[in-house]
C-alpha cells in the first residue's frame, strides 16, 4: 500500500505479554503508538488490570500470515507488526472522504 493511499483507522487489542517484551513500551511511545510521558509502570499496571491494551494507528495489512501491520498516524514510513499470538481483537473504521455540513451551517455557506 502506498503512503498516499487512504488507510483505515485501526484499534488492536493486545495481551499484556506484548507490552512486557523488552523495550516495547519505549518503542510504542517513541513511535507515536502510545502517548509519551506516561510512566511505563502505570501503563504496565493498567494493562495488567485490564488484561491487555489497545494500540491505535492506521491499518497497513490485516491479512499477513505473521500478524497485523499498522502505522502511527503521525509518523509516515514507520510500521509495526503485532504477531497474531498477541492480538485479541481488531476494530477498523473508514475515514470519511468528504465532510458534510448540515442544517443552518449549510444555509450560511450557500448564502454568504
Reported as a single tens digit per residue, the pLDDT across 22-35 is 888 888 888 888 88
Q: What is the pTM of this model?
A: 0.72
Residue bearing cell 499470538? 85
Residue 35 neighbours by CB under 8 Å, 6+ apart: 29
Residue bearing cell 491499518? 59
Per-residue pLDDT tens digits for 85-110: 999 999 888 765 555 555 545 455 45
Amino acid at each position: 500500500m502506498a503512503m498516499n493511499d487512504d488507510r483505515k483507522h485501526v484499534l488492536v487489542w493486545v495481551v499484556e505479554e506484548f507490552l512486557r517484551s523488552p523495550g516495547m513500551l519505549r518503542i510504542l511511545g517513541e513511535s507515536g503508538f502510545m502517548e509519551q510521558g506516561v510512566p511505563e509502570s502505570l501503563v504496565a499496571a493498567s494493562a495488567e488490570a485490564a488484561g491487555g491494551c489497545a494500540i491505535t494507528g492506521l491499518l497497513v495489512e490485516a491479512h499477513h500470515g505473521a500478524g497485523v501491520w499498522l502505522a502511527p498516524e503521525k509518523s509516515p514510513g514507520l510500521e509495526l507488526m503485532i504477531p497474531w499470538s498477541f492480538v485479541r481483537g481488531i476494530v477498523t473504521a473508514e475515514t470519511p472522504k468528504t465532510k458534510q455540513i448540515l442544517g443552518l451551517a449549510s444555509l450560511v455557506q450557500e448564502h454568504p
